Structure 1
Amino acid sequence: MSMRPVGVARSGPPDREHALRRAATEYLRLLAQAGYHPTDTTVAVERTTEFLRQLDHISHEDGENAGAARILGAELAGAIPGLPTSSRFVGPLASAILLAAPTEATPAWALHAGYAVAGYAEALAERALGEQETILRAAVAAREHRITELQDRLHHAATHDRLTGLSNRAVLEEWCGRPLAETGALAILVVDLDGFKQINDRYGHRVGDELLVAVAERLRLVTGPEDCVCRYGGDEFVIATAGGDDKAQAIAARLLTDIAQPFQLSAGPVRVRASIGIATAEADSRDAASLIHTADRAMYVAKSGGGHRYHTEHRPSE
């Protein structure tokens, strides 16, 4: 702590020095009564004593030096390690300054003492405002973060299937309507599980739900991040992909193999197979509902042929 805005204060006569140190000690005692205990009492007493020395110094100069006295008080507020910002810590300083008053205190001493206390109080108040502002900003940021998280959850709930986490029909329709970067060709695959009802009847709906979640994960693994994978309802899934019929058939062939592998569920290994219908269209014939209807019809052709296969139907340009 510098606290030397107007010159260097020097220790006075021994009696005066003793009085200043006694007042500094009393200040720390009163602070303790108010709830503050410094981490290093010796340092706190020394800094308070130095503050009182300098208050003596400017009070013996000619004229009023309110600015210097205010600076002294403000510096003391920042020089006591860990001093809280509550106004209840202003009274102890005022009491200590009264105790430190010279035997023959001059009006200048009393005036500068008042300015010093005012500077000390103002510094604590400014720190309190700064702390409150920091707390308020943190609270606002936390609230905004919670609102953003809530909005994200609401958006996810509105655009994704609750059970599998896959996209829903709204996302699928939006995906089908967007411009395709590489090609105007679009393919829709409708994937329906063969014998899913029998699995539900045998193991119960909880295991049936486990199977749907596991199938959804295999669909994710087979498709790419640029594709749209959707649970369309029940045990029916829809995949939208750009690239036309060749890519769609490659996806379908791998899906037939992967889905046929046993699923390790709570009831043990469960086997299921799938029927897949594919519909493709060019850019001028990309109505999502119509394409899904065509792919659904193709899926039933595959299922009527015994299942565990895929069938493709092409929609001509309109």
Structure 2
Amino acid sequence: MPDYRVSPLVQELPATVPFVGPETQERNQGYLFKARIGANESVFGPSPNAIQAMADAASESWMYGDPEFYDLREDLAAHHQVESGNIMVGEGIDGMLGYVARMFLQPGDTVVTSAGAYPTFNYHVNGYGGKLEFVPYRDDREDLDALIQKAIQLQARLIYVSNPDNPMGSWWDAESIESITKQIPENCLLILDEAYGEFAPPGTLPPLDLGNQRLLRMRTFSKAYGLAGMRVGYAIGNAELILEFNKIRNHFGVGRVAQAAARAALKDQAHLQRVLTQVKIRWRPSKKSRLKTASCPCRRHPTSSPSTVEKTGPLPRL
């Protein structure tokens, strides 16, 4: 028996993690991967301006980052044409999901999500004692109507939807998303994870509805902006709802270098557009499996055979 005592909730949790990093897999297998596509990291990397901003900020890394993220929130507010009070920054969407679980859940509270959806959300829900209820995918997409109906039926506290979806890479149009945001039951919050929003076709992301206190939208600098290693994400929502984060968040969770990188990346929209142009996501039905598969820009390695290609760009996991 150990000499320490954790809470009964932690005692019951499995000793697992939602994502085994490629570094761990490389150590276990004894060789390095030639490509890292499982985590959807952008091989195009961050904006050169962001790289320079990180270098410039490195000499000041003896100081904590601004706990209010004032400059970054102002930049994000201008980018989204909202007020800075509608935005909260955190340690990637993963960190923001943990904060939301802490803010809204008590042990035994019901949470509705899709069977096979992003596992880190489930990890946080379990960590705060929530009860996960799963809805199957329908035609390779999250079943929006079924998610809402189950949330109503079970008086859920949280609903999780990613659009575009991870891991399927499918998406719903803005009209469909707007429809469910009007059906969120009382005392329930819909988390709309838009980590891959920059890659979505036009008409996928609905306009911001900052009057809806039952909706939080999540964005990140990890994917299209190529800053996965910096851990910067943010929530957009009603100003009163956003203020609740201040009660429980880690105020020094996003460092000075990371904030500088995110600001520079956001300002370099030309680099972002170059990345999106190169990725060029398009969809086609598979004759054998009926699954939708992603087409990505590929280039042949100079020493490879004609049949060997090197995939580039962040891809939806299928």
Q: Decide: shared fold, TM above 0.5.
A: no
Bigger radius of gyration among the two: 1
Which is helix-richer, 1 or 2? Answer: 1
Flag the structure with more relative contact order, 1 or 2, with Cα contacts below 8 A and sequence separation at least 6. Answer: 2
Question: Could you state the TM-score of these two structures normalised by the residue count of structure 2?
Answer: 0.17
Question: Could you state the TM-score of these two structures normalised by the residue count of structure 1?
Answer: 0.17
